[in-house]
Structure 1
Amino acid sequence: MHDPSIAALLLAASAAVLLLLGSAHLLLTFAGDRFHPRDPALTARLQEESPRISRQTTMWRAGLGFHASHSLGAMLFGLIYLYLALEPERFVMRSTPLLWLGFAYLLAMVLLARRYWFNVPFRGVALAAALYAAALLLR
């Protein structure tokens, strides 16, 4: 049997990666122009145009909201699983449903990152998934 504290530390490291990625994403969403289109005319159009679902927002504001909520989701996952991995009773290491739920989330993030994002978030979530998988194997 492997030392469960090693598995818990791997799980904590995985969660910390997601917390870091989500925090960086939130910062980049509201500070600077890293997520802005390269074409200023497109930015102007996005700030004017509303989606078909509602005229109460613009594509620009909706995009900011999607980026922020996406960031908060990654941060929440990171905070919860970091706490669960480090809490003294290590409950999460004995909870098969919680462990597999976390792993399923990370696999979904890897697939999304590979299909829709760029290299940095893909590598980050792939690292988090690999750390998490190692924790599952060692538990």
Structure 2
Amino acid sequence: MEKTLFIVGASIFGLLGLIHLAYTCFSDKFDPRNLEVKEAMLNTPPRITKQTNMWQAWVGFNASHSLGALLFAAFYIPLCISHFDIISDTIWFSVLPSVVSISYLLLAVKYWFKVPFTGILIASACFVTAAWLVNT
């Protein structure tokens, strides 16, 4: 049961990361509805440097955010399948997914919308339950 919960939680993260990356790189889903906002972003550098603009930074932040979720899934799914004893015998590896997913959940509550919030909420429930089952 615990192994399945870890895999389901990580799979949700992987799926959300993949969809987010596809939307970032191959669609206009994250473009502002007001085209003047995009134009302003293209013509405005961030305060930290003039080597980029806010639009490039926005795309980069979204892409790296997606890669983080994909990497998390790419690490935990094979670990669960091939070496579950590492998770079940080590508090760090059993609790880390809960910490990561709850951190994402807090971001989702404050900054994101319903779909990622719901997915991350389900993944968090899977991870917290799995960690509790493994460690009790």
Q: TM-score, normalised by structure 1?
A: 0.92
Q: Does 1:15 align with 2:14?
A: no
CA distance, structure 2, for counterparts of residue 91 and residue 97 of structure 1: 9
CA distance, structure 2, for counterparts of residue 89 and residue 98 of structure 1: 10
Question: Mapping of 1:71-82 within 5 angstroms?
Answer: 71-82=66-77
Contact 2:5/2:129 (<8 A) preserved: yes
Q: Pairwise CA RMSD of aligned residues?
A: 1.1
Superposition misfits of 4+ residues, deviation over 4 angstroms: none
Tell me what 2:115 maps to. 120
Segments of 5+ residues of structure 1 without an aligned counterpart are 1-5
> Please, which of 51, 64, 80 is the counterpart of residue 56 of structure 1?
51
> Please, which of 33, 40, 64 is the counterpart of residue 35 of structure 2?
40
CA distance, structure 2, for counterparts of residue 19 and residue 88 of structure 1: 19
SS of equivalent residue, structure 1 residue 90 = helix
Task: Name the aligned partner's letter for residue 108 of structure 2.
Answer: A
Q: TM-score, normalised by structure 2?
A: 0.94
CA distance, structure 2, for counterparts of residue 68 and residue 76 of structure 1: 12
> Please, which of 125, 130, 133 is the counterpart of residue 135 of structure 1?
130
Task: Name the aligned partner's letter for residue 32 of structure 1.
Answer: S
Contact 1:10/1:134 (<8 A) preserved: yes
Tell me what 1:96 maps to. 91
Segments of 5+ residues of structure 2 without an aligned counterpart are none
CA-CA distance at 1:137 after TM superposition: 2.7
After superposition, what is the alpha-carbon deviation per residue over 1:12-41, rounded to whole angstroms, capped at 9, x for unaligned? 110000000001000000111100000011
Identity of aligned residues (%): 36
Contact 2:14/2:74 (<8 A) preserved: yes
